[in-house]
Each structure stands twice: as structure tokens, then as C-alpha cells.
């Protein structure tokens, strides 16, 4: 793939030497301004914008002197995506003893499909309430009690069994209380339903437990993206999605059940699944296509232990074109989310190349389709170029605060791993402290690309500026919260996530420098980060411990 002359010139200019061990705010700015420009058309996977983005990334990496790290010695890893979109249902109803309750798609229920079929069809499938739908033997918890879900529709509560538990409930304190574990994420619940052969999975929506309103649930409009997989590996779920809270209350009442009481019962260890005596019927046309996309992978080989790998990650994709905003902008180009993270990887790569060769290999991964469900990183984790049992850590940049220097750094996923201790130690060398994310019940730890590695046992660390209010040098926590509110309330995933001359990248520079130092220490040592004893990912990592002796 070749670069246009103007882009090649920019790539060469930004590869030029800067102050030896300093992250350059000017370089960050130029990278963001380039990637968020209209020339890249919002960087949506499978578009001309992707072609230009991938060409630009490769050109920059070549100019920095990095080596290709993809399969077969190339710069890219193919990531074929299945894109589906639902049409107008011909059938969508709950049925109890021959009495059908029609459902309005987008109002009473929201569903999508990850199967490449012309029609998403479920005929008379029994509905079974499985509580929170958690199987966590390491925590002594099993909501399923051996129930057979094959060909049935599993109905779940959102979040963890102890999300609203009180003292005296069996689940109290077992799942981190208000700090969400992976068992609370909707992705886990769909995965668990598929593992058990269900034909459908529906989660009862409530805003507090989900962390967002019904408007967010239905915003994809029936579209879904997933990885292309062989037929034998496809999900068993013909449809997956959500039931609106009031619709769920009526569903349970019509079945002679009290949803409020069952919510309480689901906090007990002796909870057993409840057959709702109701079937689910759906027939919805589906359009489907395969979108060809790709990750971009580069490396600095290790001089002593090249088979041991430290991975830095950021996602190159954004949302492409959409409806014009009030300024007439059509591209949702993700200047902060995540062009700034990409720029941070370039800067760290520049510093590593200016330093002596590391002992371990350092990989710089630019993921596709993060905004479609972490699919680029998931594709890598399913078919890693470097074995995950020898992957030392994955450090991910995804949205950095642009409001200036801060007295603290925000930790996402407290209590998960030893890398958080490294974060605190390195931050202290900058005179900074660690503040824990402000809304751990939102599960941000499970909503960025590092998670694809974490759920396979690789120790991870995420830098995400919107996870909490930074204690800014100018303005303190109040100013930090104002920045978070302004970004998330107005510009997150919108056209106004664009570079702005008002950005103050001094805080982002600090955060990138911390990640550089942590990665540098890992790459020049024999240290293996560990999961904390209570992490749900420790047991997975422990299974491959012999490979790291």
C-alpha cells in the first residue's frame, strides 16, 4: 500500500528526532489533526477511509524505523467482519398458551443478530429466567443449576448479583459490590447463553444497572458487527438484545411471576432458573455482508528474549460519515477517540527507537473495529501472532484528557492486577497520585481493547481520560469533571470529537510518559506482571504459568 506524497512528507517529518526522552505535544497534535481530517473520512472499517488510514499508519511506522509484526512478516492482520442489519419484523411477540402479546421493535424490545441468515427466526422458543446468569465457580456462584437452555430464550438481569445486594444477601460482596465484574457485562451474558446452546438471549433493561438509558440500547438501529467465523463456531443465538423494563415487568406478571421479588431472589445462592411458561416468536429479515478490515502491527525486536512481548495498543477506527451536525460536519472522526491514542503510540515508538534495543520485543498494535465491539483486538487475541502465554502485558491508550496537567492519574479496574501498583509508583515520580475511576459500576474496564487480552489472562492496563474527573493543576476536580461532562455529553462518538486549538495536551503527555516508563521497565527486565488474587482472570493466566518459568 502506498502513501500520497503529502502524507508521506508528514510521516517523514514526524519521524525526525525530538528531545530524547520527551513525549512531544506538537507531534501528538499533528498526528491527530491529520487522522481526524476529512481526507480520512472518519476512518470507518471497510471504507476508503480505512485504506487511507492503514497506508498512513504503515508509512509512519516505516519512517520511524519499526519492523512489520503481522502474520507472515507483513504490516497487517486481516479482520473480516460480518455486518448485519435487521429490517421490519413480520413476527415479534411473546406467546402464553396461545395468547400472543405483539412487541414493538425499538420500544418494547431491542434485538440484533450475529448470524449471516436472511431471516432471524425463533419459533415458539420457551423463555427461561436465569437471574443474573452468572457461572463463577471461583466465587461459589452458579445461577444455572444445570438448566437446559438448548433451543430456549434466556432472560437475564443486567450487572452482577451483588450490584444492589444488601448485607445478609448471599451475593453481598462476592462480585465487587458497585464495581462491575465481567459477569455483569451484557457481552458475558450473551456469551454464556450461547455456550449453553440458547437460541435467544434477552437482558432486562434498567438504567442504573446498565449504566445508560434505553436510548443508548436502541441507538445501533438493529445493526451489529461480529467477526466472521466458520459455521461450526457461529453463535447459537439467532437474536440477542434487551427487554424494556416495563415490558419485562408485564411479561413476568402475565406469567404469574413478580419481577421485583425475583430480583431479590436472584441475589441468593440457592436461586434456581424459572420457566416463564411463555414462548418467544420472531421472524425478522436480515441484510448481511462481509466487510474486509485489518489491524496494523509493528515491532521493535527484543535483543535477548524476543519471544517475550510487551504490546501497546490503540484503535485506529472511528465512525465514518453520518448526518451533518450544526456546523455541517459529517465525519465522526474520533480525534480523541482514538486518534490521540494512536499519536501516543507513535510517540512512544519514537522514544523506544532512540533508546538502546529492549530485551523483550515491543509490539505496537493499531486495532480496527473497536467501535464495533472490540473486534480488531478480539481477532488478534483469537489468532495471536505472538503467543499470549509469553505476552508480558498489554497497555492501551483510549481517550486522553485534553484539559492540561493533572495532580493525579485515573485508574480503571482497581484490584485487578499488579500493573496498577506500577502505575502508582511511576505516577509518584511525576509528583502525582492515583484516583480510582468515578463510576466503576459502568464497567469501563471491560469496554476497551485491552479486555480482549485480559479475558485470556494477559495482564493489562488502560489509560482512559473519561473514567473520572482528573484533579487538574488549574481548576482541580471541578475543572476535571467539567471536561469529562463536556466531552461525554456533547462530543463522544459525535462529529465534534475533532481537534481543537483549545486543547491542552500537557496532561496527555504526562499520561503517555507513564505508559512509556512502565513498558520500558517491562521490556528491559524479566518481570512478569500478576493478576490480583480476587481477579476473575487470575485462574486463566495461572494455567500457562509453566511457559513463563
| Nine cell digits for residue 159 | 450487572
Please state which of the ranges 254-263, 303-312, 344-353, 442-451 shows the lowest mean pLDDT.
442-451
Q: What is the pLDDT of residue 16?
A: 38
In this model, does residue 301 exceed pLDDT 70? Answer: yes
- Predicted confidence band at 17 (pLDDT cuts at 50, 70, 90)? very low
Claim to verify: residue 48 and residue 160 sit in the same structural domain: no
Nearest to 461 by CA among 426, 485, 430, 428: 426
Per-residue model confidence (pLDDT) at position 212: 87
Cell, residue 145: 443449576
When pLDDT is averaged across residues 435-440 and rounded to a whole number, the result is: 91
**Burial (CB count within 10 angstroms: exposed 0-12, middle 13-18, buried 19+), residue 18:** middle
Buried b (16+ CB within 10 A) or exposed e, 205-226: bbeebbbeebeebbeeebebbb
Give whichever of 321-325, 441-445, 507-511 has the largest mean pLDDT: 507-511
Neighbours of 8 (CB within 10 A): 17
Are 342 and 250 contained in the same domain?
Answer: no
In 3D space, the residue among 310, 312, 297 whose CA is nearest the CA of residue 368 turns out to be 297
Nearest Cα residue to 398 out of 450, 457, 463: 463
Structural domain total, the chain: 2
The rounded distance, in Å, linking the Cα atoms of 349 and 251 is: 55
263 and 301 inside one domain: no
pLDDT value for 76: 98
Domain match, 37 and 160 both? no
Q: State what percent of residues in the chain have pLDDT above 70.
A: 96
Taking only the tens place, the pLDDT of each residue in 361-414 is 999 999 999 999 999 999 999 999 999 999 999 999 999 999 999 999 999 999
Judge if 238 and 118 occupy the same domain.
Answer: yes
Which domain covers residue 239, as residue numbers? 84-288
Residue range 249-265, pLDDT digits in tens: 999 999 999 999 999 99
pLDDT surpasses 60 at 446? yes
Residue at which a domain ends, from 288, 316, 346? 288
pLDDT at position 20 is: 40
In a domain, 5, yes or no: no
Q: Please tell me the predicted confidence (pLDDT) of residue 2.
A: 40
Please identify, among 288, 305, 334, the residue that sits at the C-terminal boundary of a domain: 288
Q: Is the model's pLDDT at 176 over the cut of 90? A: no
Instruction: Place 15 in a pLDDT band, splitting at 50, 70 and 90.
Output: very low
Model confidence band, residue 21 (pLDDT cutoffs 50, 70, 90): low
Higher pLDDT, 1 or 422: 422
Regarding whether 342 and 273 lie in a shared domain, the answer is no
Is the domain of 324 the same as that of 454?
yes
Tell me the sheet residues that pair with 462: 396
pLDDT at 178 over 90: no
In this structure, the answer to whether residues 435 and 303 fall within a common structural domain is yes
* Contact status, residue 342 vs residue 366, Cβ threshold 8 Å: yes
3-state secondary structure of 189: helix
| CATH label of the domain that carries residue 269 | 3.50.30.30
The DSSP element (H or E) to which 338 belongs, if any, is none
Domain termination site, one of 288, 321, 348: 288
User: Which domain CATH number covers 65?
Assistant: 3.40.630.10
pLDDT at residue 534, rounded to an integer: 84
Alpha carbons 193 and 206: distance in angstroms, whole number? 20
In this structure, the answer to whether residues 111 and 246 fall within a common structural domain is yes
Looking at the chain, how many residues does it have? 549
CA-angle at 426, arms to 421 and 431, nearest 5°: 120
Please name which of 14, 31, 50, 32 lies closest in space to residue 336, comparing C-alpha atoms.
32
Average pLDDT score, the chain: 94
323 confidence band (pLDDT: 50, 70, 90): confident
Judge if 90 and 213 occupy the same domain: yes
| pLDDT at residue number 3 | 45
Do residue 452 and residue 528 come from a single domain?
yes
Amino acid at each position: 500500500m502506498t502513501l500520497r506524497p503529502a502524507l508521506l512528507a508528514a510521516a517523514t517529518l514526524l519521524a525526525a528526532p525530538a528531545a530524547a526522552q520527551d513525549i512531544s505535544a506538537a507531534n501528538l497534535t499533528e498526528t491527530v489533526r491529520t487522522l481526524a481530517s476529512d481526507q480520512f473520512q472518519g476512518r470507518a472499517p471497510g471504507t476508503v477511509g480505512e485504506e487511507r488510514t492503514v497506508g498512513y499508519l504503515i508509512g509512519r511506522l516505516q519512517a520511524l524505523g519499526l519492523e512489520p509484526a503481522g502474520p507472515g512478516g507483513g504490516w497487517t492482520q486481516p479482520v473480516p467482519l460480518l455486518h448485519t442489519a435487521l429490517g421490519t419484523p413480520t413476527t415479534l411477540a411473546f406467546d402464553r398458551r396461545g395468547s400472543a402479546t405483539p412487541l414493538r421493535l425499538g420500544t418494547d424490545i431491542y434485538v440484533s443478530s450475529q448470524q449471516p441468515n436472511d431471516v432471524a427466526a425463533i419459533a415458539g422458543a420457551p423463555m427461561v429466567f436465569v437471574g443474573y446468569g452468572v457461572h463463577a465457580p471461583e466465587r461459589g456462584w452458579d445461577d444455572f443449576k444445570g438448566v437446559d437452555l438448548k433451543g430456549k430464550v434466556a432472560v437475564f438481569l443486567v450487572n452482577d448479583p451483588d450490584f444492589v445486594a444488601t448485607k445478609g444477601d448471599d451475593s453481598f460482596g462476592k462480585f465487587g459490590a458497585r464495581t462491575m465484574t465481567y459477569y455483569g457485562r451484557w457481552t458475558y451474558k450473551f456469551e454464556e447463553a450461547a455456550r449453553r446452546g440458547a437460541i435467544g438471549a434477552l437482558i432486562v433493561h434498567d438504567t442504573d444497572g446498565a449504566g445508560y438509558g434505553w436510548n443508548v440500547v436502541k441507538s445501533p438501529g438493529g445493526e451489529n458487527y461480529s467477526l466472521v467465523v466458520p459455521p461450526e463456531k457461529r453463535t447459537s443465538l439467532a437474536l440477542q438484545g434487551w427487554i424494556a423494563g416495563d415490558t419485562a415487568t408485564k411479561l413476568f406478571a402475565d406469567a404469574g411471576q413478580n419481577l421485583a421479588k425475583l430480583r431479590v431472589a436472584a441475589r441468593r445462592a440457592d436461586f434456581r432458573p424459572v420457566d416463564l411458561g411463555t414462548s418467544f416468536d420472531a421472524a425478522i429479515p436480515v441484510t448481511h455482508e462481509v466487510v474486509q478490515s485489518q489491524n496494523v502491527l509493528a515491532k521493535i525486536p527484543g535483543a535477548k528474549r524476543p519471544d517475550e512481548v510487551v504490546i501497546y495498543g490503540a484503535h485506529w477506527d472511528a465512525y465514518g460519515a453520518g448526518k451533518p451536525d450544526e456546523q455541517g460536519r459529517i465525519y465522526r472522526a474520533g480525534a480523541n477517540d482514538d486518534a490521540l491514542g494512536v499519536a501516543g503510540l507513535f510517540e512512544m515508538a519514537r522514544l523506544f527507537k532512540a533508546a538502546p534495543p529492549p530485551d523483550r520485543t515491543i509490539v505496537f498494535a493499531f486495532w480496527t473495529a473497536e467501535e464495533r465491539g472490540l473486534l480488531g483486538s478480539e481477532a488478534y487475541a483469537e489468532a495471536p501472532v505472538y503467543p499470549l502465554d509469553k505476552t508480558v502485558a498489554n497497555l492501551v491508550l483510549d481517550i486522553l484528557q485534553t484539559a492540561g496537567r493533572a495532580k493525579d492519574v485515573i485508574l480503571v479496574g482497581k484490584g485487578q492486577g499488579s500493573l496498577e501498583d506500577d502505575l502508582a509508583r511511576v505516577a509518584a515520580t511525576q509528583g502525582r497520585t492515583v484516583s480510582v475511576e468515578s463510576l466503576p459500576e459502568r464497567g469501563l474496564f471491560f469496554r476497551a481493547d485491552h479486555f480482549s487480552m485480559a479475558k485470556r489472562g494477559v495482564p493489562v492496563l488502560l489509560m482512559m481520560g473519561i473514567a473520572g474527573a482528573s484533579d487538574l493543576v488549574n481548576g482541580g476536580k471541578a475543572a476535571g469533571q467539567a471536561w469529562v461532562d463536556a466531552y461525554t455529553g456533547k462530543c463522544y462518538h459525535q462529529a465534534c470529537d475533532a481537534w481543537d486549538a483549545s486543547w491542552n495536551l500537557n496532561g496527555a503527555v504526562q499520561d503517555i510518559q507513564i505508559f512509556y516508563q512502565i513498558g520500558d521497565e517491562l521490556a528491559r527486565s524479566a518481570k512478569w506482571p500478576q493478576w490480583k488474587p480476587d481477579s476473575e482472570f487470575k485462574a486463566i493466566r495461572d494455567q500457562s504459568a509453566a511457559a513463563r518459568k
